Homo-oligomer: A and B are copies of this chain.
Amino acid sequence: MLHRITTSVFKAVGTPEDIASDVAEVLVDNHLAGHDSHGVLRIAQYLQWIREGRIVPHARPEVLAETTSTALIRGHMGFGQSVALAATDLATTKAKENGAAAVSVVDLGHTGRLGAFTERAARRGVVMFMTVGRGGPPMTVPYGGAEPSLGTNPVAFSLPRGPHAPVTLDYATSAIANGKLMLARAKGEPVPEGAIVDREGAPTTDPEDYFAGGHLLPFGGHKGYALAVIADLLAGPLTGADRYSGAVMETGVFIFAVASDAFRPEPDYLHAMDSVTRRITDVPAAPGFDAVLLPGEPESQTRGVRTADGIPLPAQTLAELARIATGLGLPVDELGLSAPSAGAARATTL
């Protein structure tokens, strides 16, 4: 349902069916994983970017250079989701054929959550690492710095686990998400130590300091800072993204992929994954926790619930979708977007 709405909206602004479907697939996948901030909430922004010429909806990725183990892909300002899916699939194919592959992607739009791509590769038997550098103005201060010079520089890593959900690391290298800062501010509560600095670059736990000109810190002190820098350098200087000056992002996407059966037969790999993941999680929980979860397990639990029950959306988001669809002359009722009554607060499941 949400897939059909999203596809229809993007088709209505000149996006070919297959590309619109790619974008919809990634946005819906992000909802299924519980990351609603990377879902249909973004549609309005993407439409705005299309109007401004910052996303070219009919652009298709081009392979500029290729060897058996590498590829350089230019997105020609196309949707980041669609271009990154193509890059993911090319890296997956190369890894399955040759064992290992590195793929760089430049000149593409916003990709959103990287786990959507690395988990797709893992479901096809490929271990994948992916990173995006800084897009837009800097917001994270380097370790020891007083002013920002990094982005949120996300990284993702997925390993296949056969019939089970992949193990997935997928996060921004900054310490805290904007949404959590807004929540702490609303509640008048402090944020954890080591997450933000005030406008002078001094450590603080008061969210008000952040909104008064403060900045984000990398997670985990100098260790998270190092990871943020590596992400920035892989996605920028290594990919060559800076050569494509018309691009939406100053940065690119860097992918590394290796077949999970590159060094041993697949059944042996899966058996060892089962045994080691069990060893890691099979310890008593700490006070305040129910159990030890694998990275990516909270998302796969949410995916289970939402695949069965549907994706709950706040009335406000639905109203926004209906408004967008109406503006584009789409059949709102037929899409299942009957306008909620004014002021409705209940969530609807799509």
Q: Is A169 an interface residue (CB 8 A)?
A: yes
A231 to chain B, nearest CB (A): 10
CB within 8 A of A102: which of B219, B262, B284, B291?
Answer: B262
Binds B, one of A16-24, A292-300, A301-309: A292-300
A252-288 with Cβ < 8 A to chain B: 256, 258, 260, 262-264, 268-269, 272-273, 275-277, 279-287
A67-83 vs B, Cβ < 8 Å mask (1 yes, 0 no)? 11110100000000000
Say whether A180 faces chain B, with CB atoms less than 8 Å apart.
Answer: no
Task: Please tell me if A209 contacts chain B, counting CB pairs below 8 Å.
Answer: no
Among residues 166 to 203 in chain A, which have CB atoms less than 8 Å away from a CB atom of chain B?
A: 167, 169, 171, 175, 193-194, 197, 200-202
A317: min CB distance to chain B, Å: 27
With both chains docked as a complex, state the minimum distance between the C-beta of A43 and any C-beta of chain B, in angstroms: 29
Residues of A whose CB lies within 8 Å of any CB of B are 65, 67-70, 72, 98-102, 104, 127, 129, 141-150, 157, 159, 167, 169, 171, 175, 193-194, 197, 200-202, 219-227, 229-230, 232-234, 236-240, 242-243, 256, 258, 260, 262-264, 268-269, 272-273, 275-277, 279-287, 289, 291-295
Residue of B nearest to A264 (CB): B240
Q: Which residue of B lies closest to A289 (CB)?
A: B144
Determine if B220 and A224 form an interchain contact, defined as CB atoms under 8 angstroms apart.
Answer: yes
**Min CB–CB distance A254 → chain B (angstroms):** 9
Q: Are the CB atoms of A285 and B242 closer together than 8 Å?
A: no
In whole Å, how far is A235's beta carbon from the nearest beta carbon of chain B? Answer: 10
Known: A67-B99, A142-B292, A240-B268. 14 other contacts (CB 8 A): A68-B68, A70-B98, A72-B263, A143-B293, A145-B286, A148-B283, A175-B220, A219-B220, A220-B220, A233-B273, A233-B277, A238-B262, A240-B264, A243-B268
Chain B contacts of A70 at CB under 8 A?
A: 98-100, 258, 262-263
Contact, CB under 8 Å: A233 / B268: no
Instruction: Give complex CA distance A260, B239 in Å.
Output: 9
A127-B238 contact, Cβ under 8 Å, with A98-B69, A229-B294: yes
Q: Which residue from chain B places its CB closest to the CB of A265 in the assembled complex?
A: B240
Q: Copy number in this complex?
A: 2
Q: A68-B98, A256-B100 are in contact. Are A284 and B145 (CB under 8 A)?
A: yes
Cα-based distance from A242 to B142 in the complex (angstroms):
39
Candidate in A147, A263, A280, A283 with the most chain B CB atoms within 10 angstroms: A263
Q: Is the beta-carbon distance between B239 and A263 smaller than 8 angstroms?
A: yes
Q: Which 7 A-B pairs have the closest CB atoms?
A: A220-B220, A70-B99, A237-B272, A226-B295, A100-B102, A240-B264, A144-B289
Contact of A223 among B99, B150, B219 (CB under 8 A): B219
Min CB–CB distance A223 → chain B (angstroms): 5
Cβ 8 A contact of A232, one of B68, B256, B276:
B276
Given A67-B99, A238-B258, A263 and B104 contact (CB-CB distance below 8 Å): yes
- Complex alpha-carbon distance, A104 and B279, angstroms: 22
In the assembled complex, which residues on chain B have CB atoms less than 8 Å from the CB atom of A293?
143-144
Asked if B232 contacts A273 (CB within 8 A), the reply is no
- Please, which residues of chain B bring their CB within 8 A of the CB of A167? 229-230, 233
- Least CB separation from A73: chain B residue: B263
